[in-house]
Amino acid sequence: MANTSIEDRLTSTLLQQTFLDGNILDIEDYKKMAAAYVSIEQCVAVLSDFQADCSYIYAGNFGKFLGLPLGDLFIDSAFEDCIFDKLNSEDVIERHALELHFFQYLKNLPDEEYRNYSTFSRLRFSDDKNMNYINHRTMYLKKLRNGSVLFALCLYAPSTNFRFQTGIDGKIVNIKTGETITSEKYKPYTETLLSKRELEILTHVAKGNNSDQIANILNISVYTVRRHRQNIIQKMQVANTTEALKTAFVMGLINV
């Protein structure tokens, strides 16, 4: 369920942007650039159109590892579930969370700077016996005057790093300067999801404290703790506190 929650949040964030009338732009130039890049790298590129809610997939030789036919593929969704389904589900959750961070961080940058940034991560295949890894990147190619992102490009390529590692090692990088953006710079935008008190209570839950114990620690009523816990579940769009914890850890909201 936590996976669905983060996926739904990413989907709604990108597809429910305000696309101003008259801003239907020609995607053909971007399609040509993506196809040309794949012809050289032999990787997989996914060009997503959030206004039309569709994607264009360009697969080089690496595409066969993802079950893709060689060449071009159109899908009626801005999100490439046909690729995500081949990857480790926990890694996909982290990838989606990283893109949420990425989107929120770029929203607060000057318009002329957003194309200087890209996400970098390393994803596992869903098959536990297959220890191959994939390098993944996300870039936003076109923003409108009101800040809405219209086109995005995701790249999938084989990784030469086979060292086992927990998590996707996700980063936001300024590809112009080489600077890695620390979580302290983008976490404030996601921490607004929950109030300071709600984050405090969720942290205590993660430490194994029940509502009575949390009430004593924070010197508040048990009723108040339970009300905050219910608010957390509603805000994070999950079924229970356990799933809220999973989502919070993935999004970097708490760290115990």
Digit-coded pLDDT (tens) for 187-237: 655 556 788 899 999 999 999 999 999 999 999 999 999 999 999 888 776
Q: In angstroms, rounded to a whole number, what is the distance separating the alpha carbons of residues 33 and 68?
A: 20
pLDDT exceeds 70 at position 150: yes
Whole-number pLDDT of residue 195: 86
Mean per-residue pLDDT, 10-17:
90
3-state secondary structure of 192: coil
Two tokens, residue 135: 């390098």
Q: Are 123 and 95 in contact (CB under 8 A)?
A: yes
Whole-number pLDDT of residue 28: 94
Identity of the amino acid at 120: F
pLDDT exceeds 60 at position 77: yes
Give the fold, CATH level 3, of 193-251.
Arc Repressor Mutant, subunit A (1.10.10)
pLDDT tens per residue across span 153-169: 999 999 988 788 778 98
C-alpha torsion 97→233→188→247, nearest 10: -30
**Total-model pTM:** 0.78
Whole-number pLDDT of residue 2: 41
Q: In angstroms, rounded to a whole number, what is the distance separating the alpha carbons of residues 31 and 45?
A: 10
Lowest mean pLDDT among 36-40, 89-93, 218-222: 89-93
Q: Where in the chain is the domain with CATH 1.10.10.10?
A: 193-251
Q: Where in the chain is the domain with CATH 3.30.450.20?
A: 2-188
Give helix 241-251 / helix 222-236 axis angle, nearest 10°: 60
* CB within 8 Å of 38: residues ≥ 6 apart: 44, 45, 58, 59, 60
CATH number of the domain located at residue range(s) 2-188 in this protein: 3.30.450.20
Mean per-residue pLDDT, 133-152:
92
Lowest mean pLDDT among 111-115, 121-125, 130-134, 223-227: 130-134
Report the chain's mean pLDDT, rounded to a whole number: 88
Whole-number pLDDT of residue 176: 95
The upper half-sphere exposure of residue 200, i.e. CA atoms within 13 Å in the direction of its Cβ, equals 12
DSSP strand pairing (44-49 vs 149-158): antiparallel
Q: What angle do CA 145, 150, 152 make, to 5 degrees?
A: 130
Two tokens, residue 154: 């995701």
Whole-number pLDDT of residue 1: 37
65 CB-contact burial (10 Å; exposed 0-12 / middle 13-18 / buried 19+): middle
Sheet holding 180-181, edge to edge: 71-75, 54-59, 44-49, 149-158, 133-143, 117-124, 171-174, 180-181
Strand-pairing partners, residue 180, are: 173
Q: In angstroms, rounded to a whole number, what is the distance separating the alpha carbons of residues 168 and 98?
A: 10
